[in-house]
C-alpha cells in the first residue's frame, strides 16, 4: 500500500515538473513572461554561447534518446518498478530541460525581423505548433506518455499494459505530429536571432535523427502494421494533394 502510494506520488511530482517545464518552454522559445528566455539572459561572447548551448542541447538529446531505447528500458527494469519507469524518464527530461533554460546563453544578433501581417502570421503558426504538439499527445495517449497511467494502474493493482499503436486524427496526416508541432513552434518567429536559429537548427537535426531510432523501435514492436502505416502516411510534411488509400488504416 505504502509503495503503491509512493509510486503514485512520484508520478504526480514528475507530471507536475513536466507541466512546469512545458509551460516554461512556451515562454522560453517565444520570449514571453519568463525572466530568462532564448533571447534574454546572461550575456556571453558568441563562441562561449555556441559551445554552452550545444552542450545543453546535446545533454537533452542524449538523455532523451538513450533512455527511450528498449535496451535501456530492459536494463533499468532491474532497478526500477515498471510503474516508475516512464515517470523517471519524464522527471529526468524535465530536469534537463530546466537546466537548459537556466543555463542558456542568448546570441542576440538578429537574422530576420518582421512586423505587421507577416509577424502576426508567424506568431499564429508558432502557437499553432504548440497546440498541435500538445493536442497530439492526447491523440496517442497523453497520460501513458507522461507516466500517470502506469502509476494509476499500479495503485489499483492492475496490470500495466504495453504501448498500443494508434493513428487517430493528425496521425492520419503525418506520422509524427508532436515533432511537426515543435518544428513549427521553433521556426515560426517574427524575430529570429542567432541564438534562436542555433536552437531551431540543432533541434531540427536532433528530431530528424531521433525519429529514425523511434521508427526502428516501432517497426520492431508493431512489424507490418507500422511498415504499412509508413508507406501510406508521410513522416512530417503533410501531402498537399491526398493520395488514394489502398490499405485500411490501423486504429
Ligand atoms: C514523444 S512521443 C512522439 C510521438 C511521435 N513521434 C510524434 O511526433 O507524434 C514518443 C512515443 O510515442 C510513441 N509513438 C509514436 N507513434 C505512435 C503511434 N502512432 N501510436 C502510439 N504510440 C506512438 C513512441 O513509441 C514513443 O514511445
**What is the pLDDT at residue 251?**
44
Provide φ and ψ at 193, rounded to 5°.
-100, 170
In total, the chain counts a number of residues equal to 251
Of ligand 1's listed atoms, the one at least distance from the Cα of 136 is 9
pLDDT tens digits for 91-136?
999 999 999 999 999 999 999 999 999 999 999 999 999 999 999 9
Residue 223 exposed, middle or buried by CB count within 10 Å (0-12, 13-18, 19+):
exposed
Strand-pair category, 191-193 with 110-113: antiparallel
What is the DSSP secondary structure assignment for residue 234, as one 8-state letter?
-
* C-alpha cell of residue 11: 508520478
Half-sphere exposure of 157 (CA within 13 A, CB side): 2
Q: Is the ipTM of this complex over 0.85?
A: yes
Could you tell which of 69, 140, 161 is best to mutate to test the pocket of ligand 1, judged by most ligand atoms within 8 Å of the CB? Answer: 140
In the chain, the percentage of residues whose pLDDT exceeds 70 is 96
Distance 205 CA to ligand 1 centre (A): 18
| Residue 102: φ, ψ to 5° | -70, -45
The number of helix segments (H) and strand segments (E) in the chain equals: 10, 2
CA of 209 from ligand 1 middle (Å) equals 15
According to the model, what pLDDT value does residue 240 have?
80
pTM for the model stands at: 0.92
Per-residue pLDDT, averaged over 230-251, amounts to 72
pLDDT in tens, 190-224: 999 999 999 999 999 999 999 999 999 999 999 99
Q: Is the dihedral of CA 202, 17, 161, 80 positive or negative?
A: positive
pLDDT at position 131: 98
pLDDT value at residue 43: 73
pLDDT in tens, 125-166: 999 999 999 999 999 999 999 999 999 999 898 888 777 899
pLDDT greater than 90 at residue 247: no
Q: Which of 203, 218, 232 to mutate to test the pocket of ligand 1 (most atoms within 8 A of CB)?
A: 218
| Average pLDDT over the chain, rounded to an integer | 92
* DSSP state at residue 154: H
- pLDDT for 157 equals 87
Q: Is 85 in the pocket of ligand 1 (CB under 6 A)?
A: no
pLDDT band of 59, cuts 50, 70, 90? very high
Amino acid at each position: 500500500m505504502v509503495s503503491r502510494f509512493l509510486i503514485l506520488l512520484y508520478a504526480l511530482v514528475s507530471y507536475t515538473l513536466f507541466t512546469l517545464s512545458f509551460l516554461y518552454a512556451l515562454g522560453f522559445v517565444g520570449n514571453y513572461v519568463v525572466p530568462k528566455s532564448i533571447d534574454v539572459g546572461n550575456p556571453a561572447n558568441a563562441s562561449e554561447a555556441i559551445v554552452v548551448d550545444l552542450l545543453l542541447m546535446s545533454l537533452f538529446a542524449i538523455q532523451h534518446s538513450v533512455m527511450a531505447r528498449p535496451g535501456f528500458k530492459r536494463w533499468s527494469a532491474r532497478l526500477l518498478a515498471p510503474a516508475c519507469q516512464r515517470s523517471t524518464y519524464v522527471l529526468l527530461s524535465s530536469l534537463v530541460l530546466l537546466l537548459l533554460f537556466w543555463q542558456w546563453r542568448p546570441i542576440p544578433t538578429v537574422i530576420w525581423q518582421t512586423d505587421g501581417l507577416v509577424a502576426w502570421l508567424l506568431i499564429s503558426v508558432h502557437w499553432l505548433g504548440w497546440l498541435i504538439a500538445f493536442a497530439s499527445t492526447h491523440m496517442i495517449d497523453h497520460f501513458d506518455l507522461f507516466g500517470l497511467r502506469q502509476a494509476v494502474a499500479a495503485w489499483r493493482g492492475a496490470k500495466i499494459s504495453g504501448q498500443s499503436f494508434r493513428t487517430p486524427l493528425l496521425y492520419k496526416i503525418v506520422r509524427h505530429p508532436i515533432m511537426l508541432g515543435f518544428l513549427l513552434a521553433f521556426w515560426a518567429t517574427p524575430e529570429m536571432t542567432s541564438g534562436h536559429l542555433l536552437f531551431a537548427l540543432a533541434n531540427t537535426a536532433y528530431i530528424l535523427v531521433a525519429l529514425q531510432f523511434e521508427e526502428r523501435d516501432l517497426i520492431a514492436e508493431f512489424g507490418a502494421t507500422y511498415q504499412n502505416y509508413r508507406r501510406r502516411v508521410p513522416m512530417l510534411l503533410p501531402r498537399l494533394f491526398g493520395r488514394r488509400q489502398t490499405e485500411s488504416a490501423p486504429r
